[in-house]
Amino acid sequence: MRQAGRCLAEYRELRERFGILEIARNPELCARVTAMPVTRLGVDAAVLYADIMLPLDGMGVPFHIEPDVGPIVERPVRAASDVAALRVVPAEEATPYLFAAIRELRRSLPAEVALIGFAGAPFTLASYLIEGRPSRDLARTKALLFGDPVLWDRLMTVLSDVLVRYLGAQVDAGVDVIQLFDSWAGALSAEDYARAVRPYSRRVLDAVRGVPRIHFATGNPELLPLLADVPCEVVSVDWRIGLADAWSRIGDRGIQGNLDPAVCLAPFEVVAARARAILAEAAGRPGHVFNLGHGVLADTEADTLARLTELVGTETAVALV
């Protein structure tokens, strides 16, 4: 969704007729939107058009996406009875439309274009379940994490079980890479993350085999060594830390990042200079995936992203000769 980016005219036209969840739950529409950035921008990989809330479809948790707000959980999960009511079912039963879209994409995408699947990490899904909507301070989530560690473990264990099935089924359907998004983990201290979050992300990523695994969180560079301390091949970083510093913290891992998405709103000479600075810092080191440090902003010009893709491809091709 963020790669389709709301900046593509053909995507915006489709969104005038269909909601986000309508597209994600329709295999033909999902496949069409997933492929749009490959055609328009020339990127090396397609990111599956989905929402991190989709696993809730099989858990018996009603939710919807409210425009300009985000995911809304209609009955938040805050008590032991709420956690006990959560269902864990086979992924193909929970979200069959998603795997149909993956199989269609695997048939239709060029062989050299990778397909990236993903899921929200247990902590990020837990935060939506508990808060009921996006939250700046995650007060209810932290209250449960700090105040009732037994119930917290039950909830995170259920979510880990669901995500192991969900990501495993994506791999079986044909994705080439998976990424685990812990979008709100940066709200935690390193100590609390290590104690109450890392074990569950480790369990999920350890269960996914056969494809490269990317681990992502944003907002707190102090978490980077902990993000790397789980089974993964690549750690994704945002613009708040330089690549050299990030590599010193994560060790022998690939790294994805880290152009600030807001830079792409500037004149292209600024975008090009920033991109070249990132490539110079990577210095041809194996395992660097050039990317934005977070999602495409809505006002970004598609031509800017297409030119950026071309620049990175040209510069790195020259560097490898």
Task: State yes or no: is 154 an active-site residue.
Answer: no
Burial profile 153-177: b = 16 or more Cβ within 10 angstroms, e = fewer: eebbbbbbbbbbbbbbbbbebbbbb
- What residues are paired with 180 via a beta bridge? 119, 215
From 11, 49, 128, 193, the catalytic residue: 128
Task: State yes or no: is 136 an active-site residue.
Answer: no
What counts of helices (H) and strands (E) characterise the chain?
15, 9
From 2, 140, 202, 240, the catalytic residue: 2
β-strands 234-236, 213-217 pairing:
parallel
Task: State yes or no: is 193 an active-site residue.
Answer: no
Quote the distance between the C-alpha of residue 231 and its chain's center: 16
From 15, 154, 202, 240, the catalytic residue: 15
Residue 85 CA to residue 81 CA, distance in Å, equals 6
Task: State yes or no: is 75 an active-site residue.
Answer: no
Ranges of beta strands (E only) in 74-212 are 114-120, 177-182
Pull the structure tokens for residue 291: 């990317």
From 40, 51, 193, 307, the catalytic residue: 51
SS3 assignment, position 251:
coil
Task: State yes or no: is 229 an active-site residue.
Answer: no
From 6, 103, 140, 202, the catalytic residue: 6
What is the dihedral sign for C-alpha 95, 104, 51, 208?
A: positive
DSSP state of 188: S
Residue 124 CA to residue 129 CA, distance in Å, equals 9
Q: Are the CB atoms for 202 and 231 separated by under 8 Å?
A: yes
Q: Is the peptide bond before 26 cis (omega within 30 degrees of 0)?
A: no
Residue 240 CA to residue 261 CA, distance in Å, equals 12
How far, in Å, are 137, 185, 244 from residue 190 at the CA level?
A: 16, 9, 20
SS3 assignment, position 230:
coil
* Enzyme catalytic residues: 2, 6, 15, 51, 128
